[in-house]
């Protein structure tokens, strides 16, 4: 480290065999001082250019658009915070926000608890072929697109000739208007989400459980804890970081829901399943209020950041 | 001497006690209980598996029947492929398949190359400011796609790229791949790269002959993840594709439902085609598939 600039400057010139033994050490010591210090730059450039075009510039533009009035044609006109004040008084946006929260409160706790319980059963009882088959079967809905999931469930739950209603009628029961009833529809969409996500979170939980030391279970077994006692006192506390991940991911996904709602209900009935992203899509691409839609997008972004930070804080404080 | 014996005996008695207790804890409710509990647990798991599979079974059965009334039962007499024929002859599913496959291949290849390039620089050839740049990359991972949707649309429109493969695959590229690969790249010993450099390998040769081959597992994982997100993407194609010849399979399925609300057979046929491609890949590459998709959870 004391060799200083002299060694660094002479370095590129050294080409004789005798110097090879010394060179690597010098390189690591003063990485910033060698001639090739910018060797890495061309490697970064392609990704940087693409990220600029698809994320960095758009995020700046989005903030700018949110302060303008902008239809697809013509150029944006500066209106300052008008869009945001309009949002504050927009009942439809408040309703969409409420729907998104209700949808999240339905799907996230359920998918988290079910995935945890199933993973526990699989990790403690079925670390065998059967368990592996169950895990890969439950993963199948995860790979399917939300559009396919939505289209299939819509057909199954349709009011007039949906499979479930055909079935109900065959047993002499009354038809249920699953997607046409405002209070039911949001539950249906939420439960379909749970159905799709369980396999994903199950796999994450299962991987976490593989890392819980067996001694912890043995020790709690000695203390007389049963299966549920061990789940409560060993598994859940050991998997707190995994739960943090599962809850944050689930919530962020819920706040971004679009495909499923678009295909299953179109936001209806009567706006009962219109979520934030659904509103952004409608405002931007159907009503051509790109500025107003950008303001909603900014609010969505802020909400997602707040959720991530708050959940991290809450789950961290639980640890103490 | 004496104390030694005492210690040994106490120790061994404790061991016996532990083993007995352990046996006890395994069957808290007496004999026969574990087996019963296991079969109850197995039954519950099987019910969950059936619930996961039934909608897909229903989808396939419906797609194979010419009917406007849905049945859950397979009627061999009504079995036919007419829905699939109509899908490809009347509804442009052939073109959609070509577009989807082309876009997916482009996205996977470009993403793998571009991300491992950048990861190499960040992990092995840092330059002044690369640390800060890397954090900028990580920060871009926090931005939800819905937030950049509108500016992205106007950028692609101004570049004249709407309704092209470029507009479909470019937004798929993100910093997550860089982040993922960089972690693995750190495990390549510097000495190995140094030795190759001394042997006269250029930076490019080094990258393609030494670095890239040792990144195979993580690149496979990233590729599977890229494949799935690109294949299943919906919102971006929905807003950016106006030309029916350029629609992706997922978009085509949604459009089928929009146009032919009660023609369940053909809608389910479209859904089946859209679902079949990831399913086949899943069966072929199951282990890497799960790893690829779960590693994306770091993305947040």
As a whole number, mean pLDDT of residues B227-250 equals 94
State pLDDT tens for residues A242-273: 999 899 999 999 999 999 999 999 988 989 99
Residue B17 has pLDDT above 80, yes or no: no
**Nearest chain A residue to B19, by CA:** A222
Residue A157, CA atoms < 13 Å, CB-side half-sphere: 21
* Tokens 């009504």 -> residue: B78
For B:9-28, CB contacts with A below 8 A are 18, 21-22, 25-26, 28
Q: Is the Cα torsion angle B242, B246, B249, B253 positive or negative in sign? A: positive
How far apart CA A162 and CA B267 sit, in angstroms, is: 13
Per-residue pLDDT, A142: 93
Indicate which of B16, B24, B25 best probes the interface with A, i.e. most A CBs within 10 Å of its own CB. Answer: B25
Query: In terms of DSSP H, where are the helices of B159-285?
Result: 165-169, 175-185, 190-198, 203-206, 212-214, 216-232, 235-240, 249-259, 264-284
As a whole number, mean pLDDT of residues A190-196 equals 97
Per-residue pLDDT, B16: 43
pLDDT band at B299 (very low <50, low <70, confident <90, very high): very low
Per-residue pLDDT, A21: 43
Residue A27's contacts (CB-CB under 8 Å, 6 or more residues apart) are A11, A34, B194
Residue B160 has pLDDT above 90, yes or no: yes
Residue A132's contacts (CB-CB under 8 Å, 6 or more residues apart) are none
Which residues on chain A are in Cβ contact (under 8 Å) with B35? none
Which residues on chain A are in Cβ contact (under 8 Å) with B232? 144-147
Provide, rounded to the nearest whole percent, the portion of chain A with pLDDT above 90. Answer: 59
Report residue B207 as tokens.
């990258």
Per-residue pLDDT, A313: 83
State pLDDT tens for residues A77-87: 899 899 999 99
Per-residue pLDDT, B285: 87
Which residues on chain A are in Cβ contact (under 8 Å) with B181? none
Query: In terms of DSSP H, where are the helices of chain B?
Result: 2-26, 33-63, 82-89, 93-124, 130-140, 145-158, 165-169, 175-185, 190-198, 203-206, 212-214, 216-232, 235-240, 249-259, 264-284, 286-295
As a whole number, mean pLDDT of residues A187-201 equals 96
State pLDDT tens for residues B50-63: 999 999 999 998 89
pLDDT band at B230 (very low <50, low <70, confident <90, very high): very high
What does each C-alpha distance from A252 to A247, A257, A308, B144, B229 come to in angstroms?
8, 9, 8, 9, 16
Encode burial over B136-147: b for 16+ CB neighbours within 10 A, e otherwise: ebeebebbbbbb
Residue A11 has pLDDT above 80, yes or no: no
The answer to whether the pTM exceeds 0.95 is no
Give the count of beta carbons closer than 10 Å to the beta carbon of residue A152: 27
How far apart CA A205 and CA B170 sit, in angstroms, is: 33
Per-residue pLDDT, A276: 96
| A9 contact B CB<8A | no
Which of B61, B73, B46 lies closest to B268, judged by CA?
Answer: B61
Residue B11 has pLDDT above 70, yes or no: no
How far apart CA B73 and CA B63 sit, in angstroms, is: 12
How far apart CA B152 and CA A296 sit, in angstroms, is: 16
Provide, rounded to the nearest whole percent, the portion of chain A with pLDDT above 70. Answer: 88
Are the beta carbons of A163 and B70 separated by less than 8 Å? Answer: yes
As a whole number, mean pLDDT of residues B207-221 equals 89
Tell the burial category of B191 from Cβ atoms under 10 Å away from its Cβ (0-12, 13-18, 19+): exposed
Are the beta carbons of B149 and A284 separated by less than 8 Å? Answer: yes
Per-residue pLDDT, A15: 40
pLDDT band at A228 (very low <50, low <70, confident <90, very high): confident
The answer to whether the CB of B277 falls within 8 A of the CB of B231 is: yes
Per-residue pLDDT, B12: 39
Q: Which range has the top average pLDDT, A88-102, A161-175, B20-34, B182-196?
A: A88-102
How far apart CA B136 and CA B40 sit, in angstroms, is: 51
Give the count of beta carbons closer than 10 Å to the beta carbon of residue A132: 13
For B:219-278, CB contacts with A below 8 A are 228, 231-232, 234-235, 238-239, 250, 253-254, 257, 262, 264, 267-268, 270-271, 274-275, 278
Per-residue pLDDT, B297: 58
What does each C-alpha distance from B231 to A144, B58, B180 come to in angstroms?
10, 22, 21
As a whole number, mean pLDDT of residues A286-296 equals 94
Closest in A48, A138, A304 to B49, CB measured: A138
Give the count of beta carbons closer than 10 Å to the beta carbon of residue B188: 16
How far apart CA B84 and CA A198 sit, in angstroms, is: 31
Q: Kind and range of the H or E element at A69?
A: strand A68-69
The answer to whether the CB of B142 falls within 8 A of the CB of B175 is: no
How far apart CA B61 and CA A58 sit, in angstroms, is: 44
What is the torsion angle, in degrees rounded to the nearest 10, for the CA atoms of residue B14, residue B17, residue B19 and residue B23?
-160
CA distance B175 to chain A (A): 8
In angstroms, how far is CA B274 from the centroid of its own chain? 15
As a whole number, mean pLDDT of residues A154-163 equals 83
Report residue B109 as tokens.
């290849």
């Amino acid at each position: 480290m004391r060799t200083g600039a002299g060694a660094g400057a002479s370095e590129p010139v050294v080409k004789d065999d005798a110097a090879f033994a010394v060179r690597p050490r010098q390189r690591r010591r003063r990485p910033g001082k060698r001639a090739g210090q910018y060797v890495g730059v061309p490697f970064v450039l392609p990704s940087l250019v693409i990220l600029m075009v698809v994320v960095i510039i758009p995020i700046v533009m989005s903030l700018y658009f949110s302060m303008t009035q902008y239809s697809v044609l013509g150029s944006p006109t500066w209106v300052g915070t008008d869009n945001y004040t309009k949002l504050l008084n927009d009942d439809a946006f408040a309703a969409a926000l409420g729907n998104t929260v209700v949808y999240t409160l339905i799907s996230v706790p359920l998918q988290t608890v079910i995935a945890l319980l199933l993973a526990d059963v699989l990790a403690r009882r079925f670390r065998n072929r059967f368990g592996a088959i169950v895990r890969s079967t439950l993963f199948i809905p995860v790979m399917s697109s939300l559009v396919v999931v939505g289209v299939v469930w819509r057909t199954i739950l349709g009011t007039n000739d949906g499979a479930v209603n055909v079935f109900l009628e065959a047993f002499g029961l009354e038809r249920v208007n699953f997607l046409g009833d405002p209070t039911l529809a949001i539950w249906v969409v939420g439960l379909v989400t749970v159905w799709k996500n369980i396999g994903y979170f199950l796999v994450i939980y299962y991987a976490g459980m593989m890392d819980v030391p067996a001694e912890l279970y043995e020790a709690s077994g000695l203390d007389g804890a049963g299966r549920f006692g061990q789940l409560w006192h060993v598994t859940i506390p050991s998997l707190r970081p995994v739960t943090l991940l599962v809850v944050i991911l689930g919530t962020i996904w819920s706040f971004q829901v679009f495909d499923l709602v678009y295909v299953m209900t179109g936001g209806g009935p009567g706006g009962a399943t219109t979520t934030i992203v659904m509103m952004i899509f409608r405002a931007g691409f159907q009503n051509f209020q790109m500025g107003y839609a950008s303001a909603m997008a900014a609010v969505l972004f802020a909400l997602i950041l707040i959720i991530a930070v708050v959940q991290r804080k809450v789950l961290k404080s639980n640890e103490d | 001497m004496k104390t030694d014996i005492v210690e040994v005996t106490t120790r061994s008695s404790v061991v016996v006690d532990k083993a007995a207790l352990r046996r006890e804890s395994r069957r808290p409710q007496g004999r026969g209980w574990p087996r019963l509990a296991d079969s109850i647990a197995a039954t519950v798991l099987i019910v969950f598996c059936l619930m996961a599979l039934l909608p897909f079974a229903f989808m396939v059965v419906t797609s194979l029947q010419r009917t406007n009334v849905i049945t859950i039962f397979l009627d061999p007499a009504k079995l036919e492929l007419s829905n699939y024929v109509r899908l490809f002859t009347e509804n442009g599913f052939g073109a959609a398949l070509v577009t989807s496959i082309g876009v997916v291949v482009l996205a996977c290849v470009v993403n793998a190359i571009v991300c491992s390039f950048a990861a190499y620089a960040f992990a092995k050839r840092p330059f002044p400011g690369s640390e800060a740049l890397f954090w900028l990359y990580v920060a871009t991972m926090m931005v939800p796609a819905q937030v950049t949707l509108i500016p992205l649309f106007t950028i692609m429109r101004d570049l004249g790229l709407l309704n092209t493969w470029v507009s479909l695959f470019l937004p798929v590229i993100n910093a997550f791949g860089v982040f993922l690969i960089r972690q693995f790249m750190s495990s390549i010993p510097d000495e190995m790269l140094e030795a190759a450099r001394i042997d006269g390998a250029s930076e490019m040769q080094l990258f393609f002959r030494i670095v890239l081959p040792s990144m195979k597992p993580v690149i496979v994982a990233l590729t599977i993840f890229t494949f799935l997100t690109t294949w299943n993407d919906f919102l971006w194609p929905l807003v950016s594709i106006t030309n029916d010849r350029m629609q992706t399979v997922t978009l085509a399925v949604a459009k089928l439902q929009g146009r032919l609300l009660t023609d369940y057979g053909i809608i389910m046929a479209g859904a089946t085609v859209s679902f079949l491609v990831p399913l086949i890949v899943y069966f072929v590459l199951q282990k890497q598939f799960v790893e690829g998709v779960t590693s994306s959870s770091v993305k947040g």
